[in-house]
Amino acid sequence: MQKDSKIYVAGHRGMVGAAVWRALLAEGFTNLIGKTSKELDLKDQKSVNYFFQKEEPQVVIDAAARVGGILANNNFPYPFLMENLQIQNNLIDAAQHNNVQKFIFLGSSCIYPKLAPQPLKEEYLLTGPLEPTNEWYAIAKIAGVKACEAIRKQFGKDYVSLMPTNLYGPFDNFDLETSHVLPAMIRKFHEAKNNNHADVKLWGSGTPMREFLHVDDLAKAVVFSVKNTLPENLYNVGTGSDVTIKQLAEIIQKTVGHKGEIIWDSSKPDGTPRKLMDSSKMNAVGWNSEIVLDKGIENTYQWFLDNQEDLKEVKL
């Protein structure tokens, strides 16, 4: 791939897309395209097709999606299914019909069965029931993986799917109604600290285990996939290690400097008992994570502190 190859990053202003954009620039790629949702509605098939015909991107990175935590997925199943299907189908189909040779589809570890053996391997896809609280999002992402696999099989194009574990980092969503567990904890502990170190109530028992990947590490995996032709269609992208939600809370509490108590509300759902990904395939082709969890959380909390005014403007 040439450094002046035209690369379209869908969702370039989100947490993942922004990280990918920064990483591409850092690697010397100069011809990047990004459109806001106001400039291009990815749910509008005609608009997406016209955009591809006009711009003729050589590489497409799909970092656009409707995302959220357990609460958002559980309360809004239809948009999490339908909007994600619309976005990715329009992008993948427009890429295929406009001769885009390289497409990188980004998904989530939630595509794997709830009770699949640990660590999660790529071949466990479609071998059992999904986690009910986010199956709508997962089904959409599975469809995207299979669409890219079908194009790869039928047309021989370099369409690859990267499935990251739980992501965090700069530009994350810190809204308590729609955010994932790590940014939600950062905000909760921060606000409790500012409220005379009030106690913090957290969902569940604290016993489930989760793996967390800094978004800048994922971005490097995407750039690696842009620069190289990967031999298979589906790759897990993770750190290879996990922590309990209780351990995560304690790391964040320490980072924020909160001195109050943590109260666990065991009446609320825990979600999947454990989600550790086997990223050995991605490691074998040459990518490895670099950012350790405590340092990544420090980086994310500092970003949160530095962007308080912007977060207030978007009512987070």
Which residues are the active-site residues? 137
Structure tokens, 120: 């999660």
Structure tokens, 21: 């954009």
Any residues with CB less than 8 A from the CB of 185 and at least 6 apart, and which?
Answer: 202, 248, 249, 252
Cα angle 227, 30, 64; round to 5: 70
Give Dmax over CA atoms of the chain in angstroms. Answer: 61
CA 308 – CA 123 distance, rounded (Å): 42
Residue 158, SS3?
strand
CA 161 – CA 148 distance, rounded (Å): 7
The residues pairing with 105 across neighbouring beta strands, listed in sequence order, are 62, 161
Whether omega for the bond prior to residue 119 falls within 30 degrees of 0, making it cis, is: yes
Question: Phi/psi zone of residue 197: left (φ > 0), alpha (ψ -120 to 50 degrees), beta?
Answer: left
The single-letter DSSP state of residue 100 is -
Is 268:204 a contact under the CB 8 Å cutoff?
yes
Residue 271, SS3?
coil
Q: Which amino acid is at 47?
A: S
Q: Among all chains, which residue has been given the structure tokens 């600290």?
A: 193
How do strand 59-62 and strand 32-33 relate by DSSP bridges? unpaired
